[in-house]
């Protein structure tokens, strides 16, 4: 199982007057948590949170899609970063947790990357009017976040939280195929 925190960061910079001095460029914000990377799978050591009393699941992955957009001199740019939150992700007992359970949790994070790539794809295909950036960006990201949330819930339901090995194998194949199909939108 996993929890989704939706993070939307919207930065707007209006076109500067040609005679005005441009403000100093702020340092880019460092994403919280662990950014998704193909060569960096999750380990049980990453799950540092504590299960709430009465939680029935064996583990929980907390992931986020951090997205931001800006227009500078009427040029649109956006960022989408999938992250894993160690502080709110937990495993009940890492000593007895199986590799299959860790794989199930990894696929939750991989689904986060799938939807990061889908959002990047959608953002690259839209012509943004910088005067109306915020509502357009928010509408587009909300639609992708809703799809992501629905897919995460389908994944847990269909695999019975990873306990149905046959369905888990099908989802593993499906998610890997989606990552490959969206490779052009990977960072």
Q: What percent of the chain has pLDDT over 90?
A: 69
Domain that holds residue 93: 2-13+33-185
Average pLDDT over residues 20-32: 41
pLDDT of residue 32: 66
Residue 27's pLDDT band (cuts 50, 70, 90): very low
Query: What b-and-e string marks burial along 85-99, b requiring 16 or more CB atoms within 10 Å of the CB?
Result: bbebbbbbeeeebee
Look at residue 56 and tell me if it is in a domain.
yes
pLDDT of residue 72: 87
Residue 31 has pLDDT above 60, yes or no: no
Tokens representing residue 126 in the block:
């839209």
Q: What is the mean pLDDT of the chain?
A: 85
Look at residue 164 and tell me if it is in a domain.
yes
Residue 127's pLDDT band (cuts 50, 70, 90): confident
pLDDT of residue 110: 98
Look at residue 24 and tell me if it is in a domain.
no
How do residues 34-88 score in pLDDT, each as one tens digit? 999 999 999 999 999 999 998 999 999 999 999 999 888 888 889 999 999 999 9
Q: For residues 77 and 19, is the Cβ–Cβ distance under 8 A?
A: no
Look at residue 158 and tell me if it is in a domain.
yes
Look at residue 27 and tell me if it is in a domain.
no
Look at residue 51 and tell me if it is in a domain.
yes
pLDDT of residue 19: 27
pLDDT of residue 22: 32
This prediction's pTM? 0.82
Which has more pLDDT, 29 or 171? 171
Look at residue 45 and tell me if it is in a domain.
yes
Look at residue 28 and tell me if it is in a domain.
no
Tally of structural domains, the chain: 1
Average pLDDT over residues 80-98: 95
The CA distance from 97 to 44, in Å, is 8
């Amino acid at each position: 199982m996993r929890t989704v925190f939706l993070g939307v960061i919207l930065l707007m910079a209006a076109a500067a007057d040609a005679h005005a001095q441009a403000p100093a460029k702020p340092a880019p914000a460092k994403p919280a948590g662990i950014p998704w990377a193909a060569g960096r799978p999750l380990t049980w050591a990453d799950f540092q949170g504590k299960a709430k009393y009465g939680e029935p699941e064996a583990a929980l992955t907390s992931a986020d899609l951090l997205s931001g957009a800006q227009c500078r001199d009427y040029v649109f740019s956006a960022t989408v970063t999938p992250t894993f939150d160690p502080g709110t992700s937990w495993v009940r007992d890492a000593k007895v947790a199986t590799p299959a359970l860790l794989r199930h949790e990894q696929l939750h994070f991989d689904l986060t990357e799938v939807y990061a790539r889908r959002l990047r794809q959608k953002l690259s295909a839209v012509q943004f009017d910088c005067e109306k950036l915020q509502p357009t960006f928010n509408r587009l990201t909300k639609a992708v976040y809703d799809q992501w949330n629905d897919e995460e819930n389908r994944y847990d339901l269909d695999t019975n939280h990873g306990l149905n090995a046959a369905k888990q194998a099908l989802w593993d194949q499906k998610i890997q195929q989606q990552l490959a199909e969206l490779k052009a939108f990977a960072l």
